Each structure stands twice: as C-alpha cells, then as structure tokens.
Structure 1
C-alpha cells in the first residue's frame, strides 16, 4: 500500500514512512493511494473476532511493510491497558447505541489510536536505530493520550501544546502530572487553533524538521485515522449480528474532523449499505456544520464551551476530505488551502450535493447539552459527558425510523465533572485513576503563542545527534 499527499508534492511512500513523516513534506496530509474494499463475504467472516483480531484484519489492508507477526504483537500490546475486554463496548439505550470509547488509560477515545501509535513509533525507531521528537497541539484529550502513549519510551521526546486555561482541570492534570524526562508540556497563551497553527508552521520548516526528526501524533498522522476506522467496523458487525440490520448511522461529536473522517474511510471500505449516514455534531464552534449545511467553511472566533475538545475552528483533517471533494486533484487542493490561509474562508456551495451525500450536520447549543445529559440520566440512568451529549442530541434530531444509530462516547463523564454534576444534580465519583492525579506534582511551561519562542524551546530540549 502506497501513500500520497493531498497536495501532490511527494513521491508515494509506504505506510511506515507515512507514520514517521506525519505531515507530508509538501505541507499536505497523507492518504492511501486507494482505499481497499471489503466484500460482503469477507465482512461477514469477521463476525465473532476479538477487537484485536479485527484490528489486524482492518489494518493489514493498509499496511504491507510490517511483518504479520510484528503487527499482531503491536496491536495486542496496544490494547492490553484497556479496562474492558471488548475495548469499545456498545451500550443499548432504547434504539440508540452508545459506543464507549473511553476504556483506555486516559479515559478518552484518543487512547484507541495513541496507544497503538506510541508502540508503533517505538518499534520503528528501534528497527531503524533512530530517534524522534514528537510535537502536537491539543484541545484537551489528544495531549494526555499522546503523553501516556509514549511516556518513558526510549528514543522519543514529546512536546505538547495546550491552550492555557481552556482545557478542563482534569485534562490539564492528566498532562502536566506526567513528569517523565521525555515529556514536555507547554501551555500557550492562546487558543487551540493558535497551537495547531504553530505546530503546522514548525513542521513546514523542512530543515528544522529534518534535523530534529520531528514526528506528529495529532490526527494529521494517518496511523491515528487508521486505528479509529476499526471501531466503526466493529460497530457495524455488532449491529448486523444483533439486529439483523445491514445499515448503521453514526453520530460523531467532532471538532478536528479526524474521528468522523475515519467513519468516512470505513464507509468507503465496507460493503455498500453497511453505513447509512454519518451525522457530524458540533458545539457552538460550528464551522464544520456550516460547511455541510451551507457550503461555508469560514473561520470565526473560538467560543469556550463545556465540550472544550471541540472548541476548534480550523479542522486539521478537513484537507483530507477536501481532496476527495475536489475530485482527488492536488492542484485544486493547493489552491483551495492557499485561499483559506489568505482569506480564512472557502465557499463550497457548488459541492453541496456531494457533501450531503456523505454527511449531515447539527450544531448543538450549551442549553441543549445540559438538557441532553439531564434527560439521558433521568430516563436511562446513564451519564454522558458533554462531548458525547453533543453527538446524542444530533442523533436524536437526525434519527431515521428503523435504522440503528450508534453515538460515539468520546470521554468518561468524570473528566468534565462540573458540567455533568450541574446537569444530573449530584456529585460524580471520580475513577481511581483520576482521583490519584489530584495529589501528584506537575510540570508545565507557560509561554506566549509565539512560534519562534516555542521552536527555540523545542530545539533546546529535543533529542538530536
């Protein structure tokens, strides 16, 4: 399997090179040259597989430069820290199915990809006798999951930028209480979009990237998307097996477009009709909802909400979808992204027919988030975190008669206790792993959202030869 850039400026590379490259050297994002298709008989043969064995079957179709035994071992090791035997279990609530993706070490869906990616990085660096400095920006959960994925690993340093004061207290603690020598937390005085822009600009410095062997752990790294495709396939298999349905709708709370893009890849990969509809759910930061509903992909101010991991305007994975939307034309992608960088907007009204075949979208207010958490608890005794509540609210608005809907539960509710407790009217019990954070020492640098200052800090603390 060969991988290409959305901007067309690189020679096709194998999977392991995409992992190490992160962001393509031409500034684009990496995609498989073709998306492998799975026929109906193969799909049905996967019924009954463990999550780990299914992950191998899915990933092996995109990876042909890691020996089978090594890939299986990487997958097995990556899911050992999870506290549920199904890894991503489904909970059934009166026609809605909650896909719990928070059973990993940091209690967020990012663990499913980042435990795998951390082990993959370590494997490749040992194989190649090399080193890597990982740089990433986080709106909350990616940072802690990335840190837990690589903490203490040899040949790896990690630098994570988060917006100072704009993540939940628990999210901040999960990052800053990790004081391993290879972990560097940077709180920037700005928004997530500021941090993400700084990271992309640093990766765009080709000489710096080469000297310090920079690696990406944000969802710009294709391996992140690939690992997330697996739970869409697992959910479709479960629904097919238990409800005799062959079509499943997915409701996905999203800010950076990575999680729902994994669903888009799964839809293109699986037999026709396995995935009926992808419902994109946003909070008040609704750039993606406006894109789908109006063809308007334009920046606005970042609004602080109770679902901070989605408080994003420029979605870093949108360029991957744009590539398909613009007929897989790198030239059109380059022109569009240059226009977006200059003007802060893209008008895609001419593409609305195509967009609406792929997605529907709902923007959810803060009042609706609280109401959804309250009603779900009152009616089912089930507690949603605010991000998951955004997805559930969108699912309820878009639910079609007779088609099962899977709502992605992206974080444990205790990570956002203040909002949840307000909605359900009682205190939450913290899981032991979160309660233990409260007494741990922390380490973090607070810095201006200044690329040069941050790049200098990275150079002073990076691994190098």
Structure 2
C-alpha cells in the first residue's frame, strides 16, 4: 500500500517511509491511497478473534510489503502484553443502551498506549533494519507524552524529546513523563500552551538543520499515520462484541486533535456498520463549532478540567477534509494556508455537507463535565475521568433514538484527574494502580524552557550531542 499527502504535492511513499517521516514535504499529512474493505462475512469471522489477532487482521493491509507477517504479529503481541486486562479494551455497560469502552488499561492509563506501544516497537524495528538512530520530538497536552516515553524508553535506536505546556497538565500526567529517568528521555516544560508545543514540533520537522548530521526527527504525535492505524482496531473490537455486523453501533469520542475519532471514520469507511460518530469536546470547542456551525476558527485557549482537549487547532481534521474535498490536495492546501494566515476557515457548502454526513457534535464546559462525572457515578457506580464524562454527556445530547446503541470511549483512568473527581463531589477515593502507587514520590527531571524555537532547538541539539 502507498501513502499520499493531504496537500497533493509530495510523492507517494511506503508504510516504512511514512512511519519514519511523519509529516509530508509539502506540509500535509499522510493518508493511504486506498482502504481495505471488510464484508459482513469478514466481520462475522473477525468477531471470534482475540484483540491481538484482530489487530493483525485490521492493520496488515496497511503494512504489507514492509515487514513480514511473523514479525508484525510478534510486535503486536508484545505491545498488548503490556496491558493489565485480558480483553485489552473491555466494555462496561452504564445504562440500557450505553457502554463505556475502557482504553486505559495500558502502562500509562490512557488510550494513547494502544498506538504508542506498537509505534515504539515499529520504529525500533525499522531503525534497526536501517542501522539508523532517530530523534523523537513530540508535543503533548497530557497523555501522549507519557505513552510515547513508555514506548520508547527501551528502544536502542531512539532519543525522545517531549514538549508539554508548563503547568497546564495534571500532576499525575506530568510525573508519568518526568519520573522516567533514562539517558534517552528528555522532557521540556514549555512556557506556553499546547498549540505552541505542537507548532514548534511542526516547524522543527520542516527544517531539521539544527540536528547533528545523520540524525532525523521522528513523529509520535497523531500526525504519524501509524498512530491512526492502531486506533482503528478498537472500533472493530467493540462493535463486533456488541453485535456488529447485524447491529449498527454509534460512538461518542472525547477528542481535541481529531485523531481518535478520525480512526472511527476510517473504520466506517472500511465496512464497519457505524451509526453516529459524535465529536465530544470541552470549552475549547473548535471541532464542535466546525461541525455544528461551519466555523473552524481559532479562539483563545481556556484551561479546563479536561486538559488533554485544551487545544485550539485540531491537526488531524485536515485528514478528514482531504476526503471532504474529494481528495483535491491542491484545493485543500489553499484552504489550510489561508487558515494558517487568518485563523479562520469556513468550508464551501458541498464540502461542509460531506463533513456533517458522518459527524455530530457537542461541547461541555467544566460545570457540565463535573455534573456528568457526578451523575454517572450516582446512576451506575461508574467513575469517569473528565474526558470520558464529556463523551458520556455528548452521547446523551446527540442520541437520536432510545434504541441507539452508543459506545463512549473512556480515554483515561480517573486517577489521572483526581482534582476533577474531587470537584465533582463524588465521595469516592481515587486510587492509582499498583505499578504507580509511588508516582508522587519519585524523582523528577525536566527542563523549563521559554517559548522560543531557537532556544528549544539549541537545547535539543546539546542533549543529542552528549
């Protein structure tokens, strides 16, 4: 399978090249030139498989020709052996037609582990094959950083640099990154917000001259196609467990950067019978405004109880727009360049219609978020983290009928957001899993750096040269 840029001016590449490159030369994001299709007969067969076997079947068409089937299956098995639940992505019922898909049973208690545990192993595999050493540079609004570090810390061929917004992630999120004391792990607390971190990463990928000779940047953010690919799997696993293909399943997805719900859109395009795809956002609601009012414009960033969604610009939305523009990369490039210059984007009527055909949306502020944490616990005994609570609230707001089966993606463990749980008034102790019980006592290591590209790149250069 080949991959093309959303902006149309970059050459088509293999999976291996896309994995190591991250961002296309023309500034676009890579997407496959075609998608594998699964018939109802295929889905019925897949429903009997373990999560690991299903992951192989869903992802194999995307990587075939770049890695042997034996090696790929071994990497999958090793990645998900790190999860502490035998189902890997278990479902929990919270009312008659609503289920929670728990995606936090990986080593860092967040859904990012599903993609990054595999991504780290894929990177090490291909870099080892090439006898190269890569430099991972990533931005995080909270969960990506720790998941990426956990995936890369044991990789011989990688140094990893993660930028997080200083004092804008939860203490547990920060400590999961900064207490990993290894020579190849480097944490930067940037004096700014997530979008500053994300833009710095994108700019650095466009011009890597600050790196020593023979080193290249590698992306672990969801701009890397492999992240999206791995997230497609749990849409299949949950829908099949709930009766697909005989039943149609809807999903409510808390999302800031659009990567997680874009994976659901791809699953639908691949043949999975999905009803609604609900975009659930917080007060930083650019995606809700884009879907409900055709207003994809930047607004000031608000600090919320759901920091992983405190994002002003959703990078992966461009991947969806590529399809909405009928894969006209030149037209999309013009729109994205205009958006970069003005901070505003209103889609042509036909393109906007293509978007809302597949998505509905809702935005919850902090007060609503705390209400849904409290009410969900009172009604079902289920303790949701603030992001998951937003997904549950959005599902209720967008439900079209009483018999619609809705799966809400639980993107993180509630223990990562103790402040929100306490603020909700829920009388329930929030306990970290056993392997993290001493987290708040561990030694930290990170560098607070001003929001200046040259300063950050100079610091990275010094660490790489050590």
**TM class by smaller structure:** over 0.9
Q: Match of 1:196? A: 198
1:63 Cα deviation (Å)? 1.2
Q: Is the 8 A contact 2:281 2:362 kept in 1?
A: yes
Displacement of 1:174: 0.4
Moved more, 149-158 or 138-147: 149-158
The 5 Å alignment of 1:219-298 reads 219-240=222-243, 245-271=246-272, 274-298=273-297
Q: Distance in 2 between matches of 1:175 and 1:253?
A: 22
Q: CA RMSD in A?
A: 1.4
- Range with greater deviation from structure 2 (345-354 or 86-95): 345-354
Listed one character per residue, the Cα deviations across residues 269-297 of structure 1 (whole Å, up to 9, x for unaligned) are 015xx101100000000000000011110
Q: Residue in 2 aligned with 1:372?
A: 372
Do residues 29 (structure 1) and 29 (structure 2) align?
A: yes
Cα distance between partner residues in 2 of 1:172 and 1:62: 33
- The Cα shift of 1:463 comes to 6.3
CA shift in 2, pair 1:349/1:5, >3 Å: closer
| 1:430 to partner: Cα distance | 2.6
CA contact (8 A) 1:25 1:206 kept: no
8 Å Cα contact 1:279/1:361 also seen in 2:
yes
2:409 is aligned with 1:401 = no
Alpha-carbon separation, structure 1, partners of 2:465 and 2:74: 27
Q: TM-score, normalized by length of structure 1?
A: 0.97
Q: Report the counterpart of residue 308 of structure 2 in structure 1.
A: 309
What residue ranges of structure 1 are gaps of 5+ in the alignment? Answer: none
Instruction: Quote the Cα distance in structure 2 between the aligned partners of 1:437 and 1:158.
Output: 21
The yes-or-no answer on 1:335 pairing with 2:338 is no
Shift of residue 24, structure 1, vs aligned partner: 1.2
Q: 1:171 Cα deviation (Å)? A: 0.3
Q: Which 5+ residue runs of structure 2 have no aligned equivalent? A: none
Please state how far the C-alpha of 1:122 moved relative to its aligned partner: 0.8
Contact 1:294 1:352 in 2 (8 A): no
**Aligned residue number for residue 344 of structure 2:** 345
Structure 1 residue 304, shift from structure 2 partner: 0.3
Deviation at 1:207, TM superposition (A): 4.2
Give matches, 1:168-183, under 5 Å: 168-183=170-185
Provide the aligned length of Structure 1 versus Structure 2.
460
TM-score (norm 2): 0.96
| Alpha carbons of structure 1 residues 324 and 208: separation in structure 2 relative to 1, 3 Å | farther
Q: C-alpha separation between the residues in 1 aligned to 2:61 and 2:224? A: 17
Does the aligned pair in 2 maintain the 1:295–1:349 contact within 8 Å? no
Q: Choose from 455, 460, 463 the match for 2:462.
A: 460
Mapped to 2, the partners of 1:235 and 1:10 lie a distance apart of 36
CA contact (8 A) 2:208 2:217 kept: no
| Corresponding residue SS for 1:297 | coil
Instruction: Give yes or no for contact 1:168–1:415 (8 Å, CA) kept in 2.
Output: yes
- 1:86-123 CA distance string (max 9 Å, x none): 10000012111100000000000000100000011111
Counterpart-to-counterpart distance in 2, 1:214 and 1:117: 15
Does 2:366 align with 1:363?
no
